């Protein structure tokens, strides 16, 4: 059981494919009373219904393995879009952390990273994608470091979440103990997507093959246009610093152009960035069709056909 949870069995098989992994998982499900549930699309994974605090390290390892497998599929998937294509941005505010959805956890983390001028690209928080608020609030500092892949970022996230939890005065709901003893443990607040046909637990579509000898450091740094998309998805910056002019068209406008440029400069550890230079970089995107000019409108740009990942279900206004 342990090896299954950690994904070791997957690596013990000779054919490294999703098929193998999921077949193992089906066996596992059969044997363990459907303890694992299929959770949805790319970027999500199996979630044990009866996850206990002691199992969190194993769960994280499991998540890490799953994300490793999913890694090459998630690049152009908007980080905030959940299984139903619904954006969860900002909805976590004022809400008990344990009720946060995975997307709300992500938005919280992104917001905190942005404040500290860390990269907010999806890669940065990749391994948090499978963490619901219920799990998130239980993570230790070590968990956070491990998931973020960084001591500093892990500490930052842990500090931020501790602060938030501390501010949740008086609304400590049931204790964990109550949860664990509840019949049919299923209280992890995650939008479980039940597959009503096909093999239970089987991921839809063609299984993705995995090449095990690759991806050492595919930590591609955040491109300028990706940075802009992330600003538009972040309630800390949209619509205060940047906003959609017309989401359907893909046009957006810099509300505080100099601040956005400085934010970009901070990201690149360059205190000399300003909108003049920032905009020059944007104009270079015209050639590659990542951006298009919007004549007559100042500070307004339009995403071109080569810009991926900006179209989300519920844009901020």
Partner DNA sequence: CACGCCTTTCCTGTTT
Partner DNA sequence: AAAACAGGAAAGGCGT
Give me the residues that bind DNA (CB under 7 A), please.
217-218, 221, 223-225, 257, 264-265, 268, 270, 272-273, 275-281, 283-284, 286, 288, 293, 295-300
What is the 3 state secondary structure string of the chain? CHHHHHCHHHHHCCCCEHHHHHHHHHHHHHHCCCCEECCCCCCCCCEECCCCHHHHHHHHHHHHHHHHHHHHHCCCCCCCECCCCCECCCCCCCCCHHHCCHHHHHHHHHHHHHHCCCCCCHHHHHHHCCCCHHHHCCCCHHHHHHHHCCHHHHHHHHHHHHHHHHHCCCCCCCCHHHHHHCCCCCCCCCCCCCCCCCCCCCCCCCCCECCCCCCCCCCCCCCHHHHHHHHHHCCCCCCCCEEEEECCCCEEEECCHHHHHHHHHHHCCCCCCCHHHHHHHHHHHHHCCCEEECCCCCCEEEECCCCCCCCCCCCCC
A 10 A CB-CB count for 217 gives 5
User: Residue 179: phi, psi to the nearest 5?
Assistant: -60, -45
Paired sense of beta strands 300-303 and 251-254, if any: antiparallel
Nearer to DNA, 192 or 224 (CB): 224
Nearer to DNA, 174 or 276 (CB): 276
Q: How far is the CB of 305 from DNA (least distance, A)?
A: 15
Nearer to DNA, 117 or 299 (CB): 299
Nearer to DNA, 191 or 265 (CB): 265
Q: How far is the CB of 216 from DNA (least distance, A)?
A: 8
Q: How far is the CB of 282 from DNA (least distance, A)?
A: 8
Nearer to DNA, 10 or 264 (CB): 264
Q: How far is the CB of 256 from DNA (least distance, A)?
A: 9
Nearer to DNA, 104 or 226 (CB): 226
* Distance from the Cα of residue 251 to its chain's centroid: 24
Nearer to DNA, 249 or 276 (CB): 276
Nearer to DNA, 80 or 275 (CB): 275
Q: How far is the CB of 261 from DNA (least distance, A)?
A: 8
Burial of 33 (0-12, 13-18, 19+ CB in 10 A): exposed
Q: How far is the CB of 124 from DNA (least distance, A)?
A: 14
Q: How far is the CB of 248 from DNA (least distance, A)?
A: 20
Q: How far is the CB of 121 from DNA (least distance, A)?
A: 11
Which tokens is 180 given? 């664990």
Q: How far is the CB of 228 from DNA (least distance, A)?
A: 10
In angstroms, rounded to a whole number, what is the distance separating the alpha carbons of residues 123 and 75? 8
Nearer to DNA, 84 or 306 (CB): 306
């Amino acid at each position: 059981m342990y090896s299954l949870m950690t994904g070791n069995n997957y690596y013990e098989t000779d054919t490294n494919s999703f098929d193998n992994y999921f077949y193992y998982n089906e066996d596992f499900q059969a044997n363990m009373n459907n303890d694992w549930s299929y959770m949805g699309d790319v970027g999500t994974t199996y979630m044990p219904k009866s996850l206990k605090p002691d199992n969190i390290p194993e769960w994280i390892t499991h998540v890490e393995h799953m994300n490793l497998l999913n890694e090459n599929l998630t690049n152009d998937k908007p980080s905030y879009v959940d299984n139903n294509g619904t954006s969860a941005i900002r909805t976590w505010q004022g809400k008990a952390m344990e009720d946060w959805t995975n997307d709300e956890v992500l938005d919280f983390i992104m917001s905190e990273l942005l404040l500290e001028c860390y990269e907010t690209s999806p890669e940065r928080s990749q391994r948090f994608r499978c963490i619901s608020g219920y799990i998130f609030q239980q993570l230790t500092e070590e968990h956070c470091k491990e998931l973020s892949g960084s001591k500093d970022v892990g500490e930052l996230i842990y500090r931020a979440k501790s602060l938030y939890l501390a501010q949740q005065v008086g609304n400590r709901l049931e204790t964990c103990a109550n949860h664990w003893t509840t019949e049919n443990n299923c209280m992890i607040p995650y939008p479980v997507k039940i597959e009503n046909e096909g093999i239970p637990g089987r991921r839809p579509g063609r299984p993705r093959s995995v090449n095990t000898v690759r991806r050492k450091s595919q930590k591609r740094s955040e491109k300028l246009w990706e940075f802009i998309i992330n600003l538009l998805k972040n309630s800390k910056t949209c619509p205060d610093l940047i906003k959609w002019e017309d989401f359907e068209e893909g046009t957006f406008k810099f509300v505080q152009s100099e601040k956005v440029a400085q934010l970009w400069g901070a990201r690149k550890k360059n205190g000399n960035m300003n909108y003049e230079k920032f905009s020059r970089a944007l104009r270079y995107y015209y050639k590659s069709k990542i951006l298009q000019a919007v004549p007559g409108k100042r500070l307004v740009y339009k995403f071109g056909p080569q810009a991926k990942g900006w179209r989300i279900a519920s844009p901020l206004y």
